Structure 1
Amino acid sequence: YTLPHLLNSPGNFTASKLRWVQLNEPALYAKIRHIMLPGDFIAMRLTGVPATTLSGLSEGIFWDFKEGKVSDQLLELYGIDAALLSPIVPTFGEQGKVSKAAAELLGLKEGTPVTYRAGDQPNNAFSLNVLQPGEAATTAGTSGVVYAVHNQPAFDAKSRVNAFIHVNHTEKETRNGVLMCLNGTGILNSWLRQVSGGMAYDKMNDLAATAPPGSEGLRVFPFGNGAERILQNRLPGASVQGLDFGIHSPAHLLRAGQEGIVFALAYGMDIMRSMGLRINRVRAGKANMFLSPLFREAFANATGAEIELYNTDGAQGAARGAGVGAGVFTSFPEAFRGMDCLATISPDAKSHAAYQDAYADWKVKLQQILSNR
């Protein structure tokens, strides 16, 4: 039942966390009046009105994609009263007005409408104008994410990726966001900075670029930040393989760190492609790991996907979304008018071959690591 209806295994999402509270802290659970995601809670503090969206319900793994409604089976299985779910409001449109108390506290105008809400990754995708099937967004902060829009209820039988209702989904036009997440991304680069004596990131990038693509056989596995969904919730730990003291320098290690992150993201993208998603081009904000030219080059050549780089972020996406919901913009194209592509990074034949060889070797070594755990 679970996957065709929920498109996810709900083990690490809101519904299951609530079940844990229900079983382990029943007195606390008994105090619940409304179930809300963090964004819903912020909106409630602004307006005094509890509410959520279809996208929010799907992020909590409450949504039955096959039936097009809240999952009765999940609520029954977990013993969650449907009355605890907050009322549903549109993702774009008036969802309430700023109350007098919130206005006085925040210096806002009382009665200002709240007109948009979304989770972090659906909003990051929206900020990049990723709305149609075949379009994909990526980000690489503490964790790394690739989020692709699909018009089919796709799921991975091993639950290595997740699916949510995207912000522009309608009854007539299915828009689901398929998300793969790598926990150990920028946090690995931060760790490398610490062990490099606090070197500035741009200097790290310059030094890493002096080593050749593939890092002459040095491989880094960035799995040191918790159980990884793409590895079926396994925790192999971070590791370095192939280190040769006669060959490898700090430059090799810094480059292998960025390449290891990219290879892990490529591994997740391979899972998404096996589900029928087309990921030939991805959009990214010029931020976090995508500030690194080496990282962008490695990403394009290891994944085979062209990168479109934009000067935008989640805050801009939220502002544009609120503008759509308030009617300031009459359409999505109007909301994104003027958001120009800063650069396009495409795979090149020579680098692509080198990265593909290195990625193939990385995958072989990953399977060896997993088989020994």
Structure 2
Amino acid sequence: MKYVVGIDLGTSSVKTLLVSQGGEIKGEATAAYPLIHERPGYSEQDPEEWVKGTITCLKELMKSSGVAAEDIEGISFSGQMHGLVLLDDRNEVLCHAILWNDTRTTKQCRAIEAKLGDKLLDITRNAALEGFTLPKILWVQENEPELFAKAARFVLPKDYLRYRMTGNVHMELSDAAGTLMLNVPEAKWSEEILEAFGLSSNFAPPLVGSTEETGTLLPEFAELTGLSTSTKVFGGGADNACGAVGAGIVRQGDALCSIGTSGVILSYEEDKNKDFAGKVHFFNHSHPGAFYAMGVTLAAGYSMSWFKDSLAPELSFDELLKPVADIAPGAEGLLFTPYLVGERTPHADSVIRGSFIGLSGTHRREHLARAVMEGITFSLAESLELFRQAGINVERIISIGGGAKNPVWLQMQADIFGTPVVALNNEQGPAMGAAMMAAVGSGWFDSLKDCADQFIGYRATYEPNAANVDKYARLFKLYQQVYAATRSLNEGLQEFREQ
């Protein structure tokens, strides 16, 4: 039996999966590492921690599984997106990595918009947001010029880890799409953008595909982990691309609903000319020639965690949500907007905050709980509506994360989205997507689509309830009015918030 390893390099930890040719999980290991917050709005990490954590996990996988090193054919990666790792001419790290959730770059985002104008969306298909990589590069240029003068190139987090494993510097395409320097429709670096900001073409590493081989393990890395120098290493993918692959989102008509701390609606697309005017993200997918559109709700699962911790800390989530099944759609005239930390899609607004609208003395905790669930789902439905307006046909939605653990919430998603919602048998997320890329790269399958047929299993399908679909459609129109109605109120309240 042969095996592959999927490595998910997350923000707080690295997760590794050992997967057989039949798609069975034969081992997993996780290692945590710290975030560095030197100032408000700063979020950094030491790239060496990624390497140490990965070595720890791989050693544990080899020890616990008993699999022979020569039977592990390939390794691939999922990586946290957008993080800036600056390297000198010897490929040594120059400073801490600046992560996706670092917010110091608002000034640089406005500078990008001013310099590129409409060309930004034409080329990159994405708006300039603080999380992206180019604003971080410009911040270092402006604030640490002596350090930046030493920078020969940049990489993203998983690409740095892969370099340490193989000695070869590349950047994988689906991750490069989140830098604001890639011509997304043409799948190549934009010379126009690089030149506009004084960056040489060598500053951006050679691009590779998700299933493309980038080398084999260096002898020293193989020795540290117990793996073989013959193990092939493949490009991998951005965490959202890998999460989509791991959920089987590799065909036209499929979409993903992921409710974690934040929430994501993601759809598979093969038309490079889709234009969302920057209202949603549009990135290259891991499947060759494909793309994915993505909308984000910043406080999806976080809204539910906040509600539980604030009003029912003594209850489990199952206990808290059990009575919700007895409450009719609409929570007896109560709406909730999940803007607890601002919003991303369709309102890129850091000032807006959440609301309960219609609260009365007859509402009990279970009504509020249902309203929170519905509000989170309405927010995700706004992204889905943008997809449909752009001509994307969504035939089914695969639901993962916290929203897939509760049957009532799964049915609610089907009713609000007006689309069948499917739950997975075994949800492993981006690490499984990375393992699938290694499986295809190793020649086990001809494509990620073929691999998904073997590796992905489905638990249940929730069909929309026609009566509920009609009721939720009317509620959704009311929900969409809350943002505009509360925007100025939140601006006024901002002076009273703790800064």
Q: TM-score, normalised by structure 2?
A: 0.70
Segments of 5+ residues of structure 2 without an aligned counterpart are 1-118, 492-499
Say whether the 8 Å CA contact 1:93–1:326 is kept in structure 2: no
Q: 2:483 aligns with which of 358, 366, 369?
A: 366
Equivalent positions of 1:84-99 (< 5 A) are 84-99=203-218
Say whether the 8 Å CA contact 1:64–1:71 is kept in structure 2: yes
The code of the aligned residue for 1:368 comes to A
**Mapped pair 1:319 → 2:438:** no
Q: 1:356 aligns with which of 465, 469, 473?
A: 473
Say whether the 8 Å CA contact 1:91–1:117 is kept in structure 2: yes
- Look up the match of 1:36: 155
- Look up the match of 1:75: 194
**Mapped pair 1:231 → 2:351:** no
**Mapped pair 1:135 → 2:265:** no
The code of the aligned residue for 1:154 comes to K
Once the two structures are TM-superposed, the CA of residue 62 in structure 1 deviates from its matched residue by 1.7
**Mapped pair 1:115 → 2:229:** no
**Mapped pair 1:304 → 2:409:** no
Say whether the 8 Å CA contact 2:295–2:346 is kept in structure 1: yes
Deviation per CA, 1:309-330, whole angstroms, max 9, x where unpaired? Answer: 1123222221121110111233
Q: Give distance in 2, aligned partners of 1:27 and 1:207.
A: 60
Partner of 1:215: helix, strand, or coil? coil
Residues 298, 342 of structure 1: alpha-carbon distance in 2 compared, 3 angstrom cutoff: same
Say whether the 8 Å CA contact 1:209–1:251 is kept in structure 2: no
Partner of 2:153: helix, strand, or coil? coil
Residues 328, 116 of structure 1: alpha-carbon distance in 2 compared, 3 angstrom cutoff: farther
The farther-off stretch of 121-130 and 71-80 is: 71-80
Say whether the 8 Å CA contact 1:214–1:355 is kept in structure 2: yes
Partner of 2:129: helix, strand, or coil? helix
| Alignment coverage as a number of residue pairs | 366
- Look up the match of 2:48: none
- Look up the match of 2:128: 10
- Look up the match of 2:47: none
The code of the aligned residue for 1:290 comes to A
Once the two structures are TM-superposed, the CA of residue 68 in structure 1 deviates from its matched residue by 4.6
Deviation per CA, 1:76-115, whole angstroms, max 9, x where unpaired? Answer: 2222222111122221131121212222333322331112
The code of the aligned residue for 1:343 comes to A
The code of the aligned residue for 1:207 comes to P
Q: 2:307 aligns with which of 192, 206, 211?
A: 192
**Mapped pair 1:47 → 2:161:** no
Once the two structures are TM-superposed, the CA of residue 50 in structure 1 deviates from its matched residue by 1.4
Q: Give distance in 1, aligned partners of 2:160 and 2:342.
A: 27
Say whether the 8 Å CA contact 2:297–2:343 is kept in structure 1: no
Say whether the 8 Å CA contact 1:51–1:88 is kept in structure 2: yes
Structure number having the greater strand percentage: 2
- Look up the match of 2:358: 242
- Look up the match of 1:155: 275
Segments of 5+ residues of structure 1 without an aligned counterpart are none
Partner of 2:356: helix, strand, or coil? strand
Once the two structures are TM-superposed, the CA of residue 233 in structure 1 deviates from its matched residue by 3.4
Partner of 1:231: helix, strand, or coil? coil
Partner of 1:330: helix, strand, or coil? coil
Q: Give distance in 2, aligned partners of 1:74 and 1:27.
A: 22
Say whether the 8 Å CA contact 1:55–1:165 is kept in structure 2: yes
Q: Give distance in 1, aligned partners of 2:382 and 2:488.
A: 17
- Look up the match of 1:255: 370
Structure number having the greater helix percentage: 1
Once the two structures are TM-superposed, the CA of residue 264 in structure 1 deviates from its matched residue by 0.4
Q: Give distance in 1, aligned partners of 2:268 and 2:280.
A: 13
- Look up the match of 1:274: 389
Say whether the 8 Å CA contact 2:298–2:342 is kept in structure 1: yes
Once the two structures are TM-superposed, the CA of residue 371 in structure 1 deviates from its matched residue by 5.2
Residues 338, 72 of structure 1: alpha-carbon distance in 2 compared, 3 angstrom cutoff: closer
Q: Give distance in 2, aligned partners of 1:66 and 1:342.
A: 35
Once the two structures are TM-superposed, the CA of residue 211 in structure 1 deviates from its matched residue by 2.1
Q: TM-score, normalised by structure 1?
A: 0.92
Q: Give distance in 2, aligned partners of 1:142 and 1:106.
A: 32
Once the two structures are TM-superposed, the CA of residue 338 in structure 1 deviates from its matched residue by 5.3
Q: Give distance in 2, aligned partners of 1:141 and 1:280.
A: 23
Say whether the 8 Å CA contact 2:262–2:298 is kept in structure 1: yes
**Mapped pair 1:265 → 2:380:** yes
The code of the aligned residue for 1:340 comes to G
Say whether the 8 Å CA contact 2:213–2:234 is kept in structure 1: yes
Deviation per CA, 1:42-83, whole angstroms, max 9, x where unpaired? Answer: 211221221112222212122214555311221122222221
After the TM superposition, which parts of structure 1 deviate over 4 Å for at least 4 consecutive aligned residues? none
Say whether the 8 Å CA contact 1:93–1:324 is kept in structure 2: no
Q: Give distance in 2, aligned partners of 1:324 and 1:85.
A: 26
Q: 2:293 aligns with which of 156, 168, 178?
A: 178
**Mapped pair 1:341 → 2:458:** yes
Say whether the 8 Å CA contact 1:116–1:318 is kept in structure 2: no
- Look up the match of 2:399: 284
Once the two structures are TM-superposed, the CA of residue 263 in structure 1 deviates from its matched residue by 0.5
Partner of 2:326: helix, strand, or coil? coil
The code of the aligned residue for 2:474 comes to D
Deviation per CA, 1:261-302, whole angstroms, max 9, x where unpaired? Answer: 0000011211222222112311123x3221122221221111
Partner of 1:180: helix, strand, or coil? strand
